[in-house]
Structure formats: C-alpha cells, structure tokens
Structure 1
Amino acid sequence: MRFMIIVKATPESEAGGWPEGSDKLFEAMGAYHEELARAGALLDASGLQPSSKGWRIRYGANDKRTVIDGPFTESKELVAGYTLIQTRTREEALEWTRRFPNPVGFDAQGVEIEVRQLYELEDFEGIAPKQEIEKFKEIGMK
C-alpha cells in the first residue's frame, strides 16, 4: 500500500521563506526520512517551489486548454511538499504519519498534514480495459 503525506503550503512557504528554527526542522525531517528509508518504507520525498513558479492547465469546452500562471491565491489549498511511503497496512502508515515532524516548526499550532492512499493498478481491474492496465505495467507503473 502506498500513501502520500501531503504538506500544505503556508503564506510563508508561498513567499519562498522558511519557518523560524528551520535548521532544527531540517534535522528532524532528515532523521524521520532516514528512519523511513532504513525501514524500507520511503519511496520519495520532496519540497515544492512556491506556486509563483508554477502554472495550471484549465480544460474547457472542446478540450480547449488554457495556461494559468502562478502564484495562486489560496495557499491553504496548495501543496508545499510530500513524502511517499509504502507500508503493509493502513495502520502502519498511520503510525509513520503520527511521527511526521511539524512541517512549520516545533512551536507552530493549527497546522495539518494530509495523507492519501494511492491507487494501485489492481484497483482498476474490472473498470479499465485489461490491455490498458498491462500498458501501465509495461512502462513501470504500479
């Protein structure tokens, strides 16, 4: 089972800033991710640049696509970073996420991380055509 731990953006992260005491935060994040890696649960992790360096694609009628350049105003709906883990059970993933360091510093309150389970190709069996699932497997998707 794969899970994504999603760190929400803050006005400070959207401005390209770092929380106060970020040296301690980086140490805590490093130790946490090192522990995940030793346990064989870490698949990937990264921070994201502010939305001012990104864009969105809006799909309209007749498949028309419009590019919308960042920044995006609602920082509470933006992602600042993620950690992708693989565990045997949902409960194991929950235990790992309970140990995730506070992403905006140790004294900050009112902060949340979000955890979402990823679909596995087996979840689409009976829904997607078998040959399409096989194509995804051939290119290395799970």
Structure 2
Amino acid sequence: MRFMMIVKATKDSEAGKPPSRQLLDAMSKYKEQLKRAGVLITAEDLRPTVDGFRLAQPVRGGKVQLTDGPFTDSKGLIAGFTLIDVRSREEAVEWALRMPDPHGLGEGEIEVREVKET
C-alpha cells in the first residue's frame, strides 16, 4: 500500500524561507530511517507557488486558463511530500507520527492519503 504524507505550506515556506539546520538534520535522519526500513519511495520539498502555475480546464468550449503563482488561497497549498510503500494503514500512521514537525514551529500539519491502486 502506498501512502503520501503531504506537508502543508506556511507563510514561511511560501516566502521561500529555508528550514532551520535542526529541522533539516531531523528530516535527514527520518528519511534515512524510512530508507533503512525499505519503505521510502521518494521525499521531496516543493518550491513556493511563486514559481508555479495552475491550469483551469475550460467551461463549455472556452480556453484553458493558465494562472501564474503565487496563489493567495494558502490553506490548500503544500510545501512537500513523502511517498512510502507499507503493508497497512496502521504502519503508515506509525511513520507519519515519527515525522518531525515539518516547520519546527509546533504547528506543522501532515495530511496522509492512500494512493489509489489502478
């Protein structure tokens, strides 16, 4: 079973502010644990939305709308993700609980979603 652990964006991550050395070290150790356990597929940080864009599909024959970042609706934005392959939902929960606070502020949020198997 594959699960994606999605790290929510903050004002700091959207501003491109780098994480603390302490958090970088903690995340590096966490990724190493995932690798040693053989469950890590990938773990990536995303650039701020100022470097991104969105495509909106046309409504009834209109043109595709391309909108450059940054995006103001920061609630749904993500700063990074980790993709793991585990035996169960319970194991995914265990790994998510081990992840260091992604922003080191005591307010990090991680959303965990199972990848749909096709």
TM range (shorter): over 0.9
Aligned residue number for residue 40 of structure 2? 42
- Asked whether the equivalents of residues 101 and 107 of structure 2 are also in contact (C-alpha less than 8 Å), the reply is no
Paired letter, 2:32: E
Quick one: higher RCO (CA 8 Å, sep 6+), 1 or 2?
2
Q: Deviations along 1:95-141, whole A, 9 cap, x unmatched?
A: 00000000111xx23321100000011xxxxxxxxxxxxxxxxxxxx
Aligned residue number for residue 57 of structure 2? 59
Deviation at 1:82, TM superposition (A): 0.3
Counterpart CA distance in 2 for 1:48 and 1:42 is 18
Q: Which of the two has greater helix per residue?
A: 1
Deviation at 1:10, TM superposition (A): 0.5
Paired letter, 1:114: E
Aligned residues: 117
Paired letter, 2:111: E
User: Equivalent pairs: percent with the same residue?
Assistant: 52
Alignment match of 1:116 (pick from 93, 113, 116): 113
Deviation at 1:63, TM superposition (A): 6.0
Aligned residue number for residue 67 of structure 2? 68
Structure 2: runs of 5 or more not aligned: none
Counterpart CA distance in 1 for 2:106 and 2:30 is 20
Aligned residue number for residue 136 of structure 1? none
Aligned residue number for residue 18 of structure 1? 18
Deviation at 1:74, TM superposition (A): 1.9
Q: Which runs of structure 1 show a deviation greater than 6 angstroms over 4 or more consecutive aligned residues?
A: none
- TM-score norm. by structure 1 comes to 0.79
Structure 1: runs of 5 or more not aligned: 122-142
Paired letter, 2:69: G
